[in-house]
Amino acid sequence: MEERTLIILKPDAVKRRLIGRVLARFEDRGLNLIALKLFRLSDVDAREFYSIHADKHFFNELIAFITSDPVVAGIVEGRDAVNVVRMMIGNTNSPKAEPGTVRGDFGLGTTDNIIHASDSPDSFEKESKLIFS
Ligand code: CMP
């Protein structure tokens, strides 16, 4: 099924000049980038974006990290895009991510894990409204 999903290349990906290499993986897989922007997430938008994690112990660290430098947000479209992209990015905790996945090949940690991707079509709707409104 044709689907859309949202990706955010986090500050570690931008600082380490990995934007092109990460985006190329999705294009190589036959997915299409239909929107793309480089910007800095505000504290307010970051808290809204990650509000589902507001009560978690890592929330403050996550917000500080994601707002620390520019990010690249994109909308990726293709067959089963939500699941395909989630599989391609790998485990949240980079040291546990399989080689061949984005986090398994480039990620250093759990906070600095290179990329976020929507975990469901519902999340995509909410996240893309906030990021691309
Ligand atoms: P992401 O896919 O962007 O969604 C929530 C983020 O919280 C996650 O990636 C991680 O970067 C971050 N995070 C930090 N610590 C944890 C943790 N212990 N468990 C899950 N996510 C964490």
Residues having CB within 6 Å of any atom of ligand 1:
53, 58, 62, 92, 110-111, 113, 116
pLDDT, residue 44, reads: 98
Angle at 111 between CA 35 and CA 93, to 5 degrees: 100
Average pLDDT estimate for 115-131: 98
- pLDDT level of residue 11 (50, 70, 90 thresholds): very high
pLDDT over 90 at 1, yes or no: no
Is the separation of the CB atoms in 107 and 121 below 8 Å? no
Residues 106 and 31: their CA atoms lie apart, in Å, by: 20
Task: Tell me the C-alpha distance between 97 and 79, whole Å.
Answer: 23
Q: What's the confidence (pLDDT) of residue 133? A: 86
Residues labelled as active-site residues: 116
Query: 54-66, pLDDT tens digit by residue?
Result: 999 999 999 999 9
- Whether the pLDDT of residue 74 is over 90: the answer is yes
* CATH code given to domain 2-39+71-131: 3.30.70.141
Where in the chain are the domains? 2-39+71-131
What distance in Å separates the CA atoms of residue 101 and residue 50, rounded to the nearest whole number?
23
pLDDT band at 26 (very low <50, low <70, confident <90, very high): very high
Distance 93 CA to ligand 1 centre (A): 8
Alpha carbons 61 and 95: distance in angstroms, whole number? 18
Q: Is the pTM of this model over 0.95?
A: yes
Which tokens in the block code for residue 70?
């520019």
